[in-house]
């Protein structure tokens, strides 16, 4: 391997990651300089319209009446009830963090 800073430095091969968490832990302890020649990278401004944030499945217990009310409100707004719950939570988080 050539010294760092030379143009022809041999790059390491990226490992295959089983999970996103495994990849995060890897990059916490490694430099991309060992794996990517940033001098040869072409910057492209490409939009990613369908890119969604990472999500995690949770389980939450709600009183049956509350769930039925949420489903009714969701139906009136023509959205899935789980989406309505996320909307309500997001609005409340913005409200609480603004205070």
DSSP per-residue codes, 46-57:
---TT-------
The Cβ of residue 71 has, within 10 Å, a number of other Cβ atoms equal to 14
Q: What is the pLDDT of residue 1?
A: 45
Residue 2 pLDDT greater than 60, yes or no:
no
pLDDT in tens, 20-29: 999 999 999 9
Contacts 24+ apart (CB under 8 A), 10-13: 11/35, 11/36, 11/37
Question: Residue 9: what pLDDT?
Answer: 67
* Residue 16: DSSP 8-state: P
Q: Are 51 and 74 in contact (CB under 8 A)?
A: no
Lowest mean pLDDT among 7-11, 34-38, 78-82: 7-11
In degrees, rounded to 5, the angle at the alpha carbon of residue 74 between the alpha carbons of residues 70 and 78 is 175
pTM assigned to the model:
0.48
Which tens digit of pLDDT belongs to each residue from 17-68? 999 999 999 999 988 888 888 888 888 888 877 888 888 899 999 999 999 9
């Amino acid at each position: 391997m050539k010294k760092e800073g030379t143009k022809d430095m041999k790059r390491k091969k990226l490992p295959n990651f089983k999970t996103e968490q495994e990849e995060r832990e890897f990059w916490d302890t490694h430099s991309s300089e060992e794996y990517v020649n940033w001098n040869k990278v072409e910057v492209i401004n490409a939009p990613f319209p369908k890119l969604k944030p990472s999500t995690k499945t949770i389980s939450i217990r709600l009183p049956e009446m509350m769930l039925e009310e949420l489903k009714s409100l969701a139906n009136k707004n023509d959205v899935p009830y789980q989406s309505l719950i996320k909307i309500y939570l997001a609005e409340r988080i913005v409200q609480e963090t603004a205070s």
